């Protein structure tokens, strides 16, 4: 284990204070709230992602943690200490920007060493730490090159090394892989996950990429309209979304408006606006639901297709195939029900022949594969 990794491991075991804490934070721009009543806690060593669409307030949240913005109300704390009026350069955080923000007139080595030189670190220690950081991101062979001589992925690695060399308590990642092409982004996701596991540093990442957040994070905060809709593990966020927005934003889902007309201890029945009667197993999300407006969420991968009426299926509806999209390992179907509802279905590509458009068929799913959410 490197000296830097050992230091962060000690920090994780020695402190009980959260790495980052936001308490009742508001931020106004010209009187308009960018973030409202934010409360979140990031534990030491956690990979925490803030996920949401453009304009939801996620980047503002990151800038509040970094110190580039001051909250209009509330408090930001890092390692148990208030950051009120503490400038960015005095906070134990470093930010990796989407644009990398490297100095083009400096070599890779000079870029990584810059922060340490500003701090007045002795040259012998500086050289060791720069070399160690470049080795972590596999860029030691490129130390004398300039940013313009590097690929996008290599520049991202240098930006990470520059952040890590200062041994921050928290690394802030602002859409860190957004400028990379799909293949390279996938590769860098693996590298980022390995780096986090190796170092044990607290990562707080802002992204609009759902798959990126799900694959990298220990926990995710989903933001919408300047507020947090839900915080949870990737499994909780995907399988047990708290709101229709979270269900729709994280992955794909079918949403049906309806009302509850029957409830018992085990399940409830929802009548949709088009007249479908759907049985749903009760869950934590549906415990508070009363006979009123709800939104049904059914993931496409949980819906099955059959050319003949399946036996013993409560949630079974007739329709016809209106669209097919071949995705290689999977096939994406759109089925138009007799009721007029359109459902998307995602099935593994195991069929020798794919049904043709207009084929009459049945869709069905189990009670536990639907989720009733408060409207």
Q: What is the CA radius of gyration of the chain?
A: 25
112 in a structural domain? yes
338 in a structural domain? yes
225-246 residue pLDDT tens? 999 999 999 999 999 999 999 9
76-127 residue pLDDT tens? 999 999 999 999 989 999 888 877 778 889 899 988 888 888 887 888 888 8
322-344 residue pLDDT tens? 999 988 889 999 999 999 999 99
C-alpha 324/C-alpha 358 separation (Å) is 10
Tell me the mean pLDDT in the region 199-222: 92
| pLDDT the model gives residue 204 | 96
**Same domain (yes/no): 213, 266:** no
152-206 residue pLDDT tens? 888 888 888 888 888 889 999 988 777 677 777 888 888 888 888 888 899 999 9
197 in a structural domain? yes
C-alpha 281/C-alpha 23 separation (Å) is 36
Residue 244 has phi, psi (to 5 degrees) of -60, -35
C-alpha 56/C-alpha 116 separation (Å) is 35
111 in a structural domain? yes
| pLDDT the model gives residue 183 | 79
| pLDDT the model gives residue 63 | 95
C-alpha 200/C-alpha 9 separation (Å) is 6
Distance of CA 358 to the CA centre of its chain: 38
Lowest mean pLDDT among 38-42, 280-284, 342-346: 280-284
**Same domain (yes/no): 286, 334:** yes
Mean pLDDT across the chain: 88
Task: Evaluate if residue 1 carries a pLDDT over 50.
Answer: no
74 in a structural domain? yes
**Same domain (yes/no): 219, 270:** no
Tell me the mean pLDDT in the region 3-10: 51
**Same domain (yes/no): 17, 165:** yes
Question: Number of structural domains, the chain?
Answer: 2
**Same domain (yes/no): 201, 323:** no
Domain that holds residue 259: 252-374
| pLDDT the model gives residue 44 | 96
Q: Last residue of a domain, which of 206, 239, 272? A: 239
Compare 2 and 299 and report the one with higher pLDDT: 299
**Same domain (yes/no): 89, 165:** yes
| pLDDT the model gives residue 285 | 57
**Same domain (yes/no): 306, 209:** no
C-alpha 192/C-alpha 134 separation (Å) is 14
Sign of CA dihedral 295, 339, 298, 278: positive
63-88 residue pLDDT tens? 999 999 999 999 999 999 999 999 99
**Same domain (yes/no): 312, 190:** no
Place of tokens 């409360």: 39
**Same domain (yes/no): 235, 119:** yes
pTM score, two decimals?
A: 0.85
Structure tokens that stand for 164 in this block: 């890590």
42-51 residue pLDDT tens? 999 999 999 9
**Same domain (yes/no): 231, 256:** no
Q: With bands split at pLDDT 50, 70 and 90, how would you rate the model's confidence at 277?
A: very high
C-alpha 289/C-alpha 259 separation (Å) is 10
């Amino acid at each position: 284990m490197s000296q830097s990794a050992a230091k962060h491991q000690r920090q994780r075991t020695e402190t009980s204070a959260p790495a980052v804490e936001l308490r009742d934070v508001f931020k106004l721009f010209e009187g308009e709230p960018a973030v409202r009543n934010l409360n979140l806690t990031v534990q030491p060593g956690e990979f925490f992602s803030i996920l949401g669409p453009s304009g939801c307030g996620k980047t503002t949240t990151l800038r509040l943690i970094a110190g580039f913005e001051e909250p209009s109300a509330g408090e930001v704390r890092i390692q148990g200490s208030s950051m009120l009026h503490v400038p960015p350069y005095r906070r134990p955080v470093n930010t990796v920007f989407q644009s990398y923000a490297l100095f083009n007139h400096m070599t890779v080595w000079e870029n990584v060493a810059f922060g340490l030189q500003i701090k007045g670190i002795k040259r012998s220690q500086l050289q060791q730490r720069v070399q160690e950081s470049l080795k972590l991101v596999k860029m030691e062979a490129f130390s004398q090159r300039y940013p313009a001589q590097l690929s996008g992925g290599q520049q991202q690695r240098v930006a990470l090394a520059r952040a890590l060399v200062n041994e921050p308590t928290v690394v802030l990642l602002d859409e860190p892989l957004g400028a990379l092409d799909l293949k390279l982004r996938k590769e860098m996701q693996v590298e980022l996950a390995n780096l986090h596991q190796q170092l044990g540093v607290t990562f707080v990442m802002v992204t609009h990429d759902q798959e990126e957040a799900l694959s990298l994070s220990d926990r995710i905060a989903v933001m919408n309209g300047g507020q947090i809709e839900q915080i949870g593990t990737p499994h909780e966020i995907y399988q047990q979304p708290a709101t229709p927005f979270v269900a729709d934003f994280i992955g794909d889902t079918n949403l049906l408006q309806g009302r509850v007309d029957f409830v018992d201890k085990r399940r409830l029945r929802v009548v949709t606006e088009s007249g479908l009667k759907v049985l749903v197993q009760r869950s934590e999300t549906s415990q508070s639901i009363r006979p009123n407006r709800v939104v049904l969420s059914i993931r496409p991968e949980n819906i099955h297709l059959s050319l003949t009426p399946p036996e013993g299926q409560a949630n079974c509806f007739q329709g016809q195939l209106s669209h097919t999209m071949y995705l290689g390992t999977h096939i994406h179907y759109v089925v138009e029900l007799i009721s007029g509802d359109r459902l998307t279905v995602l099935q593994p590509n195991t069929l020798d022949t794919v049904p043709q458009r207009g084929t009459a068929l049945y869709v069905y799913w189990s009670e536990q594969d639907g989720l009733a959410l408060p409207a």
